[in-house]
A and B are shown apart, each in its own frame.
Chain A
Amino acid sequence: MLSRSSSVARRWPGLCATFLLLGFSPVSFAQPADAAPPPGYTPAPANPAPIASPANQPYPADLYGPAPEAPPVSAPPASNVAVVSAPAPENRRPYSLGVTLANSMASETNSTSFVTSPLLEGAYAVHRHVLVDLTLGFGWMIDNQGLGESTFRAGNPMLSGYYRDEAGPWRFQLGIGVTAPLAHVSLGPDGRLYESLYNRTLAAWGMWNQWLWLTDRMAMPLTLRAGYTFPCGTELAVEVADAWVFGVRGEASGTDLIVQEAIEVRIPIGLLFTLTPRFQTVLLPSASMDRWQSAAGLRGTLATKAGRFFAGFLVNLDEPLVAAGSGARWGFQLGKEVDL
């Protein structure tokens, strides 16, 4: 079986070589055809399913991969033909919870401040092809004024529905969501703290899914994600989202369109680890000066029996975030993905 996998992999020498040039080494197709698994360990599928991610984060949803646990000892070897070998429906949980902590730090003259942004996500599969997702994020800024002076605010909760399907090595996912305008800056003496917190939180995500953090606005995002899994197990995925954003509270008014696009490559390394470089860019609302905000990121995901855990970072590559200071350049993320 592995020999067939290797022969398929050889049809894509250019792409896989590209990844090698980047320094990423997918172990799965580097194994010899007749490689034996370690003693006491049953071979994993030759084409491990792509990592499932929370739908509303960077490294977005691919919510229909198999559960992340290592295959049970008694499990038969997975087919090398099927790119995705979904487990039987009765073995799946219909719901899953995930959490991501996005963090950023700003070191400025005389001060250091941290922003951490927990993003909670729950997903429920109402049908094999239909998923309902609820996301709520928070922002918490702690600075050198002490924990008692920290600032905590809620983001905009979002309810989303996703339709997903697959065809051979292709996977598609179409989603629509709506947010509630919970994020709010009350104009007043505390306004700068709140504004700063929301802006820094946006930066920690590279402005990705910014409707989760925009104050006094609600949004209706439409997302489309397409992924192609190469026989070597590497997945190339593209995501595009458009969102109409409406001012509904406070001084916010008018309607604007936000567009975001991302491309990422999920590279399995070994049986349990996946490395995902990503490039994303966001078309900001019309009031912005430099309207494209781009960021690059890297995430490592470890599949365990308790779920998929990840850590990664992104760096904002251009203005306006780069111009906004040290706290707006880097974002660091860690957490547990939604697994269904």
Chain B
Amino acid sequence: MSRARRLAWVGPLLVMAGAGCNQRGLATCDITQHACQVDIYYRMLNLRGDGYDPFGGLPPVTVITEDEYRAMLLADQATTTPSPEELAYDKALELLHFTSPAAPPPGDGGLDGGAGNQDAGNSSIDDQVAHIYAFYDQNSKTVTVISHPNQTGSQPILTGMYVLAHELVHALQDRELDLNRTHFSSSDDVLAYKGMVEGDARFYEYLFDNDLRVMQGLAPADALQWPDDELDYAYTHFDELGSPLFAAEYLMYPFGAKYEATAYRSGGNAAVRHAYAKEPQHTVGFMVGPDGRVPPVSSGDVSEPPVVCSLLTTKGAVAERDQMGAVPIYAFLRAWAMDHATAFATAQTWTGDYLLVQATADVGTTAVAWRLEFSAAPDARIAQALAASGELVAKTAGTSMEITTTNSPTPLVWEPSANCP
């Protein structure tokens, strides 16, 4: 074969190779524009490395105005009518100061208006309208982008881009996970699931954000360290995170991202896929400290808390049960003035908890008993801090703790249910 012919073999191969290696560049763009949405979506596909499902495509993206978003939030609010059980449960959280009024959450849009998170925490409608850039609705399978014409400059544009990237991860997840899952056994279960869903979205949002840095001419950062940085910031600025319940919900984002970053560091996207399949079933599984030690995850089984016998026999009385989990316990302890180190170390030893809410039919009287069990005896200062204000009664016995509180004007007596007639 002549040299010319040999070269003729090579030419088409090089053309094919070149065609197969082209990659869409990333540029600053307006997320209300379709081309921008497509660019970001393709980039997220590339970052996750899972290929392309032709039936998935770009999920429908709707662009709405701030006024339309406000109307949507108001409509959602108006249609929510809580049941007596929900009212009693809400009252219990309030008595434990889980949902006490607090400073508004950090509203930079990066918190996500993500999957199922439109009603996150105590964020007011005004806050949401001003700070939410986009959200994914798993029911309509639509990403909604909120147009903020008054937010000009490069930073809102970049923020909008990584928020959209986050929401598009939810769209991809919607072909992998059951984002419409409604059967959860407890708040701990809900938050652990949230840690997986939101942590995944946060993690790839970080990788995308790093791409944006490079696009701006900055040196790439160690995005795998960012979840730790975010957690450190949250620990040191805990009082800025809003109510403890909201803080716990918020913390699941960087906790989940850290879980994935740890997997990614060890084995890239392949390890993340497998980590996905081994997601922690309890929030304690996400509480990896700076030492890298993953706390052992128990079954969560726990003894029953004491009950108010009189409320067991009251006609129409309401009872609700829940397991809060380690991350809400961390947030709870922080809200009751415990330092980060003590609260974190205590929460890491969580083996189970049982929250029992009893209320009269009109929810006028609510009694709360919360039993927490740990693998080691909790710090003695915890019971002291919890009881200091007189609102809670906290008793420690070995490695367990029982916390009771009520809004009843008359004293109530909690005792083992076996003692009730």
Q: Which A residues are closer than 8 A to B by beta carbons?
A: 20-23, 25, 106, 108-113, 143-145, 149, 185, 187-196, 198-200, 202-203, 207, 210, 214, 217, 252, 256, 277, 284-285, 287-290, 293, 296, 298, 315-330
Contacts and interface: CB of A to CB of B under 8 A. Distances in A.
B52 A324 contact: yes
A152 B270 CA distance: 15
B175 A191 contact: yes
B4 to A, nearest CB: 9
Given A23-B12, A193-B277, A214-B55, A325 B49 contact: yes
Contact of B178 (A108, A187, A321): A187
A188 B277 CA distance: 8
A195 B22 contact: no
Given A110-B271, A145-B267, A329 B20 contact: yes
B8 A192 contact: no
B107 interface: no
Contacts of A207: 54
Contacts of A287: 54-58
A315 B46 contact: no
Interface stretch (B37-45, B63-71, B87-95): B37-45
Interface of A, helix, strand, loop or mixed by DSSP = mixed
B257 to A, nearest CB: 16
Contacts of A192: 50, 173, 176-177, 273, 276-277
B165 to A, nearest CB: 14
B278 A189 contact: yes
Contacts of B22: 322
B213 interface: no
A319 B41 CA distance: 12
Interface of B: 1, 5-9, 11-13, 16-17, 19-24, 38, 41-43, 45-46, 49-58, 173, 175-178, 196, 264-271, 273-274, 276-279
A322 B274 contact: no
B5 A199 contact: no
Contacts of A320: 42, 45, 52, 54
Query: What 5 A-B pairs are tightest by C-beta distance, nearest first?
Result: A111-B268, A199-B51, A23-B8, A110-B268, A191-B176
B268 A195 contact: no
Given A110-B268, A322-B23, A252 B51 contact: no
A106 B9 CA distance: 26
24 contacts: A22-B12, A23-B12, A108-B49, A110-B268, A112-B270, A187-B178, A192-B173, A202-B54, A203-B51, A210-B54, A217-B55, A256-B55, A287-B56, A287-B58, A289-B41, A289-B58, A315-B16, A315-B20, A316-B20, A322-B22, A323-B24, A325-B49, A328-B51, A330-B20
A25 B1 contact: yes
Contacts of B52: 199, 202-203, 320-321, 323-324, 328
Given A320-B45, A324-B51, 17 more contacts: A20-B5, A110-B266, A189-B277, A191-B175, A192-B273, A196-B273, A202-B52, A296-B16, A315-B17, A318-B19, A321-B51, A321-B52, A323-B46, A324-B42, A324-B49, A324-B52, A325-B51
A261 to B, nearest CB: 16
Nearest to B50: A196
Contact of A111 (B9, B267, B277): B267
Given A202-B51, A329-B21, A319 B11 contact: no
B274 A106 contact: no
Given A111-B270, A323-B46, A195 B57 contact: no
Nearest to B141: A251
Contact of B53 (A187, A198, A316): A198
B109 to A, nearest CB: 25
A196 B172 CA distance: 11
Nearest to B5: A23
A113 B9 contact: no
A42 to B, nearest CB: 26
A195 B176 contact: yes
B175 A193 contact: no
Contact of A289 (B9, B19, B38, B278): B38
B53 A199 contact: yes
A112 B271 CA distance: 10
Nearest to A297: B16
